[in-house]
Chain A
């Protein structure tokens, strides 16, 4: 009789982190399903979660350290790999200085304490150069909202009467958010979706504003104009808790519904209807901005304009609105106060001071230039943990050239990715079922611990790796904890929670009760302590103080050589960026890349479903099979290609030289392209 056991933990196949039951037979994981008692997902899961069984036992898993030799990768003992890496790092540090060393923390191992460990390590080394995928995801929205409200709030969907999904497609990108939105709808909430595509969530929208990519700011300013003109705004909140209202009110006067229609393509009547629906539901309006508005040259000001709506509607931190979640007050691993390193010139901090100022994060696209040019100083070594920039960063050819030219490039990952193939050393990384970590769900203000359920002999968890390397590099004092359990115990210490208590609560522990309208007693986390429609901080840095609108380049100065506009990076349910292409049944469901095309454009090109077209931008070209959409599913002249496909890597087309000036986010969702049918 085999021994069957169940362990509750969190899934980390994506960043939703749903609670799961992991079923084991004789120590081997045999099944995964949803854990009903965690309020986050209430037992429901997407199909990625069950595929974690396949991922951890995948025949392609990296289980031994590899070293690049003249004839290819060769297995070497773990201790030798760490010794050699440490030796090379010390030599590079000696020759070029500490700041020539860098860390890139990847998406595939998650954030939370994994991120803090990486930040601690590179800082202890004396280098300010911490990189991550946040250079092009998340930070943009975080900045937009932080600049206006002092934080990125959490939509209080279930208590809302109007849910607005702005460039967000939860069913594919944050599957678990879908049930929250649908519960709100069942209780009578209206749903408004802003998206150039009829995304999965737009299939149930009461109102769908199909705006042209990158014109989000014009629509948001138009809504503010309508709300002010129709007296649909919260005068008391605006007068008591905001700065810059008069200037904003003056600025939005130019954004009449008719002007908005001209800028965005959204009919003036829809703009009015959206404003009416929001005003009728106020303050119970919950707005969630997705990745859509981030990848544009005016992305942050567009997001700031959307963020201003919370305050205009009086929805900020009110029940059913956008709540300012309280953080988990635990010990942090970062060393920014103990070892300030800003004087060493973090990569990108001069050009994008908000990026470093708010997030102590360096700019990955600038890093590629720095590696190749040696300017303003040499960047010669990088340890990259489970990221895949050779697929996911813009301008793939340059990324590959840069990473290949490093003196030392170490990649930790579960699989041999396109990026790992460029490394000098490839170390096997632990999956989320092979390490201990604390996760917080801001929506419920709960902290949940995850468990090490299995392990492989030469596969280190993140902490063990940083610990062992730190002790070889003379910075062992910063990694004194014996193992990840002791580290986690220390993180929990200041919160007064023991490791044992956390482990006894698979449904999570509430670390602070949910409170609304905290602004009645506490200032906002902005320089003025109020909501900032107008930002002196940005003005002092040379940016516009107001969330000014600038039309995207493809509309303002169309390039006749590149008449189409390409959106990249819309997620698919079963893939997470470039991950999971090696799960066999996922390939059955979605076998390969495709370009989503309007039927009129397909007819003009003379292509049928499955025919290949060549897409060319000023950066490069790629051939992709066509998927002809229904006329209502995508705007004519607009196309979409999802990232992460080796067979047709869309980032061969994307720009690494056109940025939002505040966040440094690259233009990836309004790329000018031309199309040709590929004749066979």
Chain B
């Protein structure tokens, strides 16, 4: 399956993803409605975008007493069925990354559903910090950036020589 991979070293906390997601949920730009959240820590100059990674064994799915959290067989996304959600908030507690929030108007839990396989947050990410990729390739950029450092360390690049 494909997931939304995040790269905190490319994110500039511009909030395009939060606006795009909030718009998809409610038609408005209140970032509290977004299923992806970007935290910016000015003193440390750190930007962290984060959303659900659709865990193999979703603790939210396991704990949901209403059985309202199910995996979409087509996209692999872990989805909340608002019609069955009892609003007990157990899933909020269970999620280790805080990727579920509570909708105070509809009184149900809300989370990323990968927009049915074409996530808006990625389409509207202008830095490229968000990529919609196969989960086994999701963090290959870490290896590439490590390779870049090794190349510099050992002076391996033959470009331009």
Contacts and interface: CB of A to CB of B under 8 A. Distances in A.
A44 B125 CA distance: 6
Contact of B128 (A50, A179, A585): A179
A45 B126 contact: yes
A46 B126 contact: yes
Interface in B23-60: 23, 27-31, 40, 42-43, 45-47
B20 interface: yes
Contacts of A33: 123
A632 B45 CA distance: 9
What's the interface size class on A, roughly? 35 or more
B8 to A, nearest CB: 9
A632 B42 contact: yes
Contact of A46 (B16, B29, B42): B16
A633 B141 CA distance: 29
B144 to A, nearest CB: 7
Contacts of B16: 46-47, 175, 573
B29 A588 contact: yes
Interface string A177-204: 0110011011110000000001011111
A616 interface: no
B5 interface: no
Contacts of A185: 9-10
B95 interface: no
A574 interface: yes
Nearest to B18: A589
Contacts of B12: 171, 178, 200-201, 203-204
Main secondary structure of the interface of B (DSSP, over half): loop
Most buried by A among B42, B124, B127, B145: B127
B29 A171 contact: no
Contact of A171 (B14, B19, B20, B23): B14
Contact of A178 (B14, B15, B28, B123): B14
Interface in A6-35: 33-34
A585 B23 contact: yes
A586 interface: yes
B68 interface: no
Interface string A626-645: 00011111000000000000
Nearest to A177: B126
A441 to B, nearest CB: 16
A242 interface: no
A43 interface: yes
A523 B151 CA distance: 37
Contacts of B19: 47, 574, 585, 589
Contacts of B9: 185, 204
Interface in A148-175: 171-172, 175
Contact of B126 (A50, A175, A584, A589): A175
Contact of A630 (B11, B42, B46): B42
A355 to B, nearest CB: 33
A629 B30 CA distance: 21
A633 B43 CA distance: 8
Most buried by B among A34, A183, A185, A204: A204
Contacts of A183: 128
Given A200-B14, A203-B13, A44 B128 contact: yes
B129 interface: yes
A175 to B, nearest CB: 4
Interface string B108-123: 0000000000000001
B16 to A, nearest CB: 5
Nearest to A48: B16
A573 B14 contact: yes
A176 interface: yes
B148 interface: yes
A178 B43 contact: no
B45 A34 contact: no
A205 B10 CA distance: 10
Given A187-B148, A573-B14, 18 more contacts: A43-B123, A44-B126, A46-B16, A46-B124, A46-B126, A47-B124, A182-B10, A182-B128, A185-B10, A186-B141, A186-B144, A186-B148, A198-B45, A200-B12, A200-B14, A205-B45, A629-B42, A632-B45
- 3 tightest A-B CB contacts, nearest first: A630-B42, A589-B29, A585-B29
7 contacts: A176-B126, A186-B148, A188-B151, A200-B12, A203-B11, A585-B27, A589-B15
